[in-house]
């Protein structure tokens, strides 16, 4: 079997969603760390707001970058595969 083309938009949607979930996990961890530091009273209110915003901003940022990066790379992959003839895969 030879892979000659990858659906760029379908790949980008899947990877974008995976990165969105990953961003939610990282945002929750960052928020927890930030809130613990804020509760210790060592930093300003800005640190507390940063922790709360991390849950919203990081998933959007990660998801968008994952989507766009995958869209660009799959389009480039399709261009290169068109020139080289594809990737041979053994299904054993």
pLDDT for residue 7 is more than 80: yes
DSSP 64: H
CA distance 88 to 2: 4
- Residues 6+ positions from 76 with CB-CB distance below 8 Å: none
Q: How far apart are the first and last CA of the chain?
A: 11
Flag whether 42 is in a domain: yes
Flag whether 92 is in a domain: no
Flag whether 80 is in a domain: yes
Residue, of 68 and 32, whose pLDDT is higher: 68
CA distance 67 to 52: 24
The residue range of the domain holding 41 is: 8-87
Tokens of 51: 């922790």
Flag whether 3 is in a domain: no
Residue, of 49 and 21, whose pLDDT is higher: 21
Between β-strands 2-3 and 87-88, what pairing exists: parallel, antiparallel or unpaired?
antiparallel
Report the domain count for the chain.
Answer: 1
Which pTM does this prediction carry? 0.79
Query: Comparing 2-16, 22-36, 68-82, which segment has the lowest mean pLDDT?
Result: 22-36
Flag whether 1 is in a domain: no
Give the pLDDT confidence score for residue 8 in this predicted structure.
Answer: 94
Report residue 38's pLDDT band, with 50, 70 and 90 as the boundaries.
low
Largest CA distance in the chain: 61
CA distance 89 to 2: 6
Give the pLDDT confidence score for residue 2 in this predicted structure.
Answer: 86
Residues 39-89 have pLDDT tens digits of: 666 556 667 677 778 888 999 999 999 999 999 999 999 999 999 998 899
């Amino acid at each position: 079997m030879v892979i000659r083309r990858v659906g760029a938009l379908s790949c980008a949607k899947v990877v974008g969603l995976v990165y969105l979930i990953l961003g939610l996990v990282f945002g929750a961890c960052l928020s927890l760390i930030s809130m613990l530091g804020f509760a210790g009273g060592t930093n300003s209110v800005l640190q507390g707001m940063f922790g709360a915003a991390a849950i919203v901003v990081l998933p959007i940022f990660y998801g968008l970058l994952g989507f766009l990066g995958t869209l660009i790379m799959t389009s480039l992959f399709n261009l290169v595969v068109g020139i080289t003839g594809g990737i041979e895969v053994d299904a054993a």
